[in-house]
């Protein structure tokens, strides 16, 4: 099987490519990535010379780049490429619409023309909006996105659905909860907290810190996508999550504890506008129909992730470039008293 993976230089995409090359020695992976600030081909340095792996530098919103990728006659598309950070979507929504909506439509169009066997759209629980104290998102929960990021992902999901209904393109949409694990860009809560805590810097916690996320280890996520590629029924949506709800403040405290750092590094800052209060996934369809079970418990997965960042400082130090520092200044400058 030949897979076109978009956004393979990103966090989940790079872990997924490694999973596929290790699990299926005869599969070929073509990685289409721009890359943006969030893409880092160093995350794939261990497989860059693998005979079944190749990278194409290109933009998913550029039809010529996308056609080049499809000319290599791929069987399955796994579409990760996106602008993926909510806070950045509040600062600059336009690029989210362009990449996540226009880029997805461009890929769908070539997937249709080239007659691929399956198009897997990697989406998010955030398309469902927010939950109160109880209940879980199911695949039938109405889409009520609250941020420009989640609205752009919901729009992309609807285009994926439309290409299935209108043109018969065999598609699946997967919607996962928050991922954590190695190679995550340190704009997201867990790697940002680990790196700042390692350096003894203050940790910005939005609002009261009691928002809840349902954390999923990236390896469990990759195994779920693998099952959807091979056994997902065309046109179906699959939620991915492992009933692992944590408040942000407890996640941050757990990381500080792992690193023997004091809780007084925690710094409550102004809340994110439109901040979703709680996410929780019902993944019973994936478990029942495709036999998925998560295998990594959060305490162990988080401890291993902390260790990974401790032992890969060369990877994240190179990521902390001028652009990253200017982002921190815009996002947190006034709120962290200049402690960037």
Q: What are residue 205's DSSP bridge partners?
A: 268
Near ligand NAD by CB under 6 A, which window of 132-140, 174-182, 202-210, 283-291?
Answer: 174-182
Specify whether 83 is catalytic.
no
Distance between CA 150 and CA 259 in Å, rounded? 32
Q: Tell me which DSSP letter residue 176 carries.
A: E
Given candidates 3, 4, 5, 12, which one binds ligand NAD under the rule CB under 6 A? 12
Return the SS3 of 318.
helix
**Would you say 180 and 186 are in contact if contact means Cβ atoms under 8 Å apart?**
no
Active-site entry in 149, 163, 180, 183: 149
Compute the least distance from the CB of residue 66 to ligand NAD, in Å: 9
Copy the structure tokens of residue 331: 């996002």
Would you say 109 and 116 are in contact if contact means Cβ atoms under 8 Å apart? Answer: no
Task: Give the burial string for 105-136 (b: 16+ CB within 10 Å, else e).
Answer: bbbbbbbeebebebbbbbbbbbbbbbbeeeeb
103 lies in the binding site for ligand NAD (CB under 6 A) = yes
Q: Partners of 117 in the beta sheet?
A: none
Residue from 70, 185, 238, 316 binding ligand NAD (CB under 6 A): 185
Site size for ligand NAD (CB under 6 A): 28
The question of whether 149 is a catalytic residue gets the answer yes
Using rule CB under 6 A, residue 222 touches ligand NAD: no
Residue appearing with tokens 């362009």: 98
Which residues, 176 to 205, sit near ligand TYD by CB under 6 A?
Answer: 178, 188-189, 192, 204-205
Pair of tokens at residue 246: 């944590």
**Residue 154 found at the interface with ligand TYD (CB under 6 A):** no
Under the rule (CB under 6 A), what is the footprint of ligand TYD?
86, 178, 188-189, 192, 204-206, 211, 213, 248, 272
Catalytic (active-site) positions: 125-126, 149
Q: Which residues bind ligand NAD (CB under 6 A)?
A: 7, 9-13, 33-36, 38-39, 59-61, 80-82, 84, 99, 103, 122, 124, 153, 176, 178-179, 185
């Amino acid at each position: 099987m030949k897979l076109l993976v978009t956004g393979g230089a990103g966090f989940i995409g790079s872990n997924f490519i490694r999973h596929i090359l290790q699990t299926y020695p005869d599969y070929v992976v073509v990685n289409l990535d721009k890359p943006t600030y969030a893409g880092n081909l160093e995350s794939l340095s261990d497989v860059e010379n693998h005979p079944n792996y190749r990278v194409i530098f290109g933009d998913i919103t550029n039809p010529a780049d996308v056609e080049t990728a499809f000319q290599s006659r791929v069987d399955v598309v796994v579409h990760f490429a996106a602008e993926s950070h909510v806070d950045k979507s509040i600062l600059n929504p336009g690029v989210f619409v362009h990449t996540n909506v226009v880029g997805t439509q461009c890929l769908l169009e070539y997937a249709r023309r080239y007659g691929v066997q399956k198009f897997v759209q990697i989406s998010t629980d955030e398309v469902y909006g927010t939950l109160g104290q109880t209940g879980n998102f199911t695949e039938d929960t109405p889409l009520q996105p609250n941020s420009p990021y989640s609205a752009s992902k919901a729009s992309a999901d609807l285009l994926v659905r439309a290409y299935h209904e209108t043109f018969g393109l065999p598609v699946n949409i997967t919607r996962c909860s928050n991922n954590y694990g190695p190679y995550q860009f340190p704009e997201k809560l867990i790697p940002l907290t680990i790196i700042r805590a390692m350096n003894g810097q203050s940790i910005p916690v939005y609002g009261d810190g009691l928002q809840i996320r349902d954390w999923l280890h990236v390896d469990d996520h990759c195994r779920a996508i693998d099952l959807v590629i091979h056994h997902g029924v065309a046109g179906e949506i699959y939620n991915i999550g492992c009933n692992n709800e944590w408040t942000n403040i407890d996640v941050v405290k757990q990381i500080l504890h792992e690193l023997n750092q004091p809780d007084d590094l925690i710094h409550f800052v102004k809340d994110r506008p439109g901040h979703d209060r709680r996410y929780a996934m019902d993944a019973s369809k994936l478990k029942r129909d495709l036999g998925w079970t998560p295998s990594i418990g959060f305490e162990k997965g988080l401890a291993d992730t902390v260790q990974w960042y401790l032992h890969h400082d060369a990877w994240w130090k190179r990521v902390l470039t001028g652009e990253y520092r200017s982002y921190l200044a815009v996002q947190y400058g006034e709120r962290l008293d200049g402690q960037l």
